[in-house]
Amino acid sequence: MPPAVAQEHMEHWLIEGARHVAGEVRLRHIRNMEPFYLRRNYQPVWLDSFELRPEAKELLEMLRETAVDDWRNYGYSLETLERETRRLTNVPEQATAMEVLLTDAFVTYAEQALNNELVPNADENDHPTVKKVVLSGDDRITEEQIIQLLHEAVRQNRLDELLASMAPQHEGYRRLRAELKRYRDIDRTGGWRPLSHELTLTAGDRHVDVPYLRWLLDQYGDLPGGTLSWLIPGEETIAPPGREKQPDLSKPEFLFDGPVRAAISNFQKRHKLEPTGSLNKETIDQLNVPPYQTAQRIALNMKRWRHLPSDLGDRHIMVNMADFSMRLMNNGSPELEMKVIIGRLNRRTPVMTDMMRIIEIAPTWTVPPRIASSYLLPKLKRNPDYLKQKGFDVLQWQNGSPVHVSADDINWKKYSARHLPYTFVQRPGKLNALGTVKFLFPNDQSIYLHDTSSPELFAKDKRALSSGCVRVEHPRLLAEKLLQSQDGWHRGRIDEAIDHNRTSRIRIKNPVPVHLMYWTTWVDDDGQLQIREDIYQRDLIGGTATHASL
């Protein structure tokens, strides 16, 4: 675009037309955009010869992916951008409008990304903390700084790198991004429809809905490769089959055969359903979730990767609360896997990342004040012998020091949740609520990993049962793996200390990062999209996203 022509139209949009770009958009960042373009002699950043540059297409895709979940009003003017993209021509007025809209959207997105505003579940108060996720005050990245980042990136021809730096680079994020594209593509076919709950199929049955079911399972990636090609020879297709009014059910595509049953079984496994290969109510319920809703969940779970540091640690612990599972990872491979128990619904385990530094063998348990007042005191009023039965000592602070007092001398009915001047410490042993091992990582929410005195709870499918801490299925094995025989702490010594109730506090020589995460969708090691129930109701999806936004 000739400089004089570019300047004329850019000045229009950046000055008198800034309140109604493309007829409707008021620019958010006009104060810093005008000097930015002045420094560039009004030459475009996102367009080249009236066509979108690759970086512009990537930015648009990032904006789409961000806005899909309908979690909040993102302010990208995406509908206008989409419309202007479709009608982009060599008309300078329209092309320059597109240019300034893209820059405005970029600055808005960068503000959100760099200031952690795109991190979900950052404002929960189940476990109060002074640590804030969203940056504010002097820590906040300003609009001026973002404009300078953009200027330097363009000057150094590194705009693609700047865009990439705004999103997580973890493999798990990239895998979810591919699945998001899959579900958005399925939605755009317009061919998805729900199945009747009256549909029942067994091996060898023939039904008019089998071709559609086969197509849907293929689109979701559950049908074995090549299974659909014999029905549609010569090319891959995403178009769904039509529903014939008078079908010839003798044709092979109407047969509920082995590959379709295997695909249903795989679909069930991905949703943590019993893999029967049959169409029961729970399976049809999941098949009837519209693909755009699944796309919304995927987009929200992609944002959860923003909680994590860029380097997870060569060796780290990853807990997925929604899956009730934990993995000890070592250079990208699972060294240890086990079930976990997480906080109940009114004491949800917080999303956090920290460094595990201490392991306590045969731990004591100092009851947190909130649990003492809300849980322990009511029990004591009903049964004063509860402390003796469960192995608790009672301490009272006198002259700045804890002093043991006899529970028999205390009338618990005199005290309330507001006034309970005692500390309760449970001795190590089989009755101890923390079990045999406690794994500590410093945080102001009193959250840690530990054993349990009720191992039978691991047999349950849904294990949101604790007061917020994470209970692990195999604590001795985890301790053995983390200590790696440092200072003679091999498995035999660990077991001996536990068996003799000998409390030992060990500082790990090589601290291990711990990531407590909440993913209701993720892609597993086999490339399969896993979907779990939103047990904590953290998938804050508005449900009003239009198909155009996908």
Q: Cite the active site residues.
A: 450, 469
* Structure-token match 């493309």, residue found: 22
How far is Cα 206 from Cα 522, in angstroms, rounded to an integer? Answer: 34
Residue whose C-alpha is closest to residue 530's, from 324, 238, 306: 324
Q: Which residues pair with 522 in a beta bridge?
A: 530
Burial label, 145 (beta-carbon count in 10 A; 0-12, 13-18, 19+)? middle
Pairing of strands 529-531, 521-523: antiparallel
SS3 195: coil
3-state class (DSSP) for residue 51: strand
**Burial of residue 401, with CB atoms counted within 10 A of its CB: 0-12 exposed, 13-18 middle, 19 or more buried:** exposed
Mention every residue, 6+ apart, whose C-beta is less than 8 A from residue 536.
321, 322, 345, 348, 464, 518
Please answer whether residues 146 and 108 qualify as being in contact, where contact means their C-beta atoms are separated by less than 8 angstroms: no
- Tokens representing residue 68 in the block: 């899909």
Calpha distance 260→268 (Å, rounded)? 12
| Contact predicate 480/490, CB 8 Å | yes
The residue with tokens 């640590």 is: 131
Query: How is residue 342 written in tokens?
Result: 């997480």
Q: Are 97 and 84 in contact (CB under 8 A)?
A: yes
Angle, vertex CA 338, rays to CA 333 and CA 342, nearest 5: 120
Q: Is 97 exposed, middle or buried (0-12, 13-18, 19+ CB in 10 A)?
A: buried
Are 451 and 436 spatial neighbours (Cβ–Cβ below 8 Å)? yes
Question: H or E element: which one contains 379?
Answer: helix 377-382
Assess contact for 464 and 535: CB atoms under 8 A: yes
Radius of gyration of the CA atoms of the chain, in A: 29
Burial of residue 147, with CB atoms counted within 10 A of its CB: 0-12 exposed, 13-18 middle, 19 or more buried: buried
